[in-house]
Amino acid sequence: MGSKRKSTETEGGKKVSISVDSSKAAIKPVVATFTAAIPPVASSFATYKCLDKSKSDNHMVVSETEKIEFVGQNFENDKPLFTGCKYLVGVYDKATDTVTFHQAPYVRINSMIKSLRSSAGVPDRDISRNVLGARNELGEAFGNKKRKAQIRAEERNKINMETVKSDMDVIETSIGLRTSSMPTNKDLQKVADDSRPVPKYNPEATNPADIYDMEDVLAKASAAHINIMPFIKASDMEECKKNIPVRSMFVLKKVEQIIDQNKPDLTALRRVLYLAYLLRFSSIKNSALQKREVCIEALQCSPEVADVIYEKFTECVAGSINPDGTPMYTKTPATESKLICHIAVLMLSANSWVLYPAEMAADLGIAGKKAEKYLESVGCKLESASSDEIAAHVLNKRARSGPSKKAVLKAPIKFPKTSAFRSR
């Protein structure tokens, strides 16, 4: 690899080598901005480079989901889109304590909804060709440099209307095609609904119990691996507590209510225990995820259930493996949101589709306002709750002292509207 190396010393006295990659590698990192929709975290992009040596800096990246295409490039009409600066991406190699900087092209990525894509083409026309010609002629006619600069500035702002009129049909066709491919607010809302971190749901359901597909939350095949016999055979709640991996007053209350019935609802019991596993999993740090046996012991669940939790609520780190050769997993902001939304749905299903945000916040160790946002994101409406109501239904002392609100899931479900602009 062609590179220049330089050594530097960190605060701890450890030397780190810094190098700049000057090789002509075909594959390079790319810096990108998205003009509209954002692809899923796990999306992969194909990178293409122009084979013409005179255009070797021209790059294009392409990706697609089931419904959207993403195409980006750093050139237009064989001219670079961005000038004036260059970007470098540094990659740190822990094994060699080396940071290698790679030159990265900067591309703007546009998105197009496949269902709105048109197959009609538009003839290529250079409307500004005559204007550029006139500018050059005027520039040659005047010898004064200041006057030449003034004429160039004026000509750049002029449009030959005769040329525009002759190409009016082409312009109208081009505008029609471009605007027809632009997503409408309804299309953008549908994309947002499809990418929500919630279980599968029925937007037309008229009963709250029918909104969410509980089979998607906890499949029967996975539920069969949840051992409920210690709870059925337990003589008291103290014995049950030994098999619950999390200190949650909500979970304990629900387990007690279920096993006190003459004929316990085993499906409901398995869902509450699965809720306890997810609550415990939410507190496990990424560094501890790599020791799966230790995690299984902390969750107090079967390996089969742990596999389901890992598959749903973590992502495999591409190109990284543990010392024992197993894949490396991590919780990302997207998977953490998905995890908490599933926890919210499980708590709602166990409590007749009504939940007190302060109680959920206490079990997750998050702020009450944040719990309210998560409950709204799964379709709940926040309503006022009296202090007597909270005292009667909430056992957690911290939750009792929280805001007097309750979240109610009503049918048909309505999600909060997403903003047209992303906060940066």
Whether residue 104 has pLDDT greater than 50: yes
Which secondary-structure segment (H or E) carries 63?
Answer: strand 59-64
Residue 202 or residue 114, greater confidence: 202
Task: Give the tens place of pLDDT for each residue, 320-331.
Answer: 777 777 788 999
CA 304, CA 27: separation in Å to the nearest integer? 39
**Domain coordinates of the chain in residue numbers?**
3-116, 129-180, 208-409
Taken in order 237, 239, 244, 248, the sign of the CA dihedral is: positive
CA 143, CA 154: separation in Å to the nearest integer? 16
Task: Give the tens place of pLDDT for each residue, 381-403.
Answer: 999 988 888 777 777 766 666 56
Q: Which token pair is 392?
A: 């009667």
Residue 124 or residue 232, greater confidence: 232
pLDDT reported for residue 111? 82
Q: How many other C-beta atoms are found inside a 10 Å radius of the C-beta of residue 211?
A: 27
Alpha-carbon separation of residue 342 from 122, 346, 409 (angstroms): 48, 6, 14
Whether residue 228 has pLDDT greater than 90: yes
Inter-residue contact 258 to 270 (CB < 8 Å): no
Ramachandran region, residue 15 (left: φ > 0; alpha: ψ -120 to 50; beta: rest): beta
Q: pLDDT class for 120, splitting at 50, 70, 90?
A: very low
Task: Give the tens place of pLDDT for each residue, 337-383.
Answer: 999 999 999 999 999 999 999 889 989 999 989 999 999 999 999 99
Q: Which token pair is 97?
A: 């304590």
Q: How many other C-beta atoms are found inside a 10 Å radius of the C-beta of residue 213?
A: 13
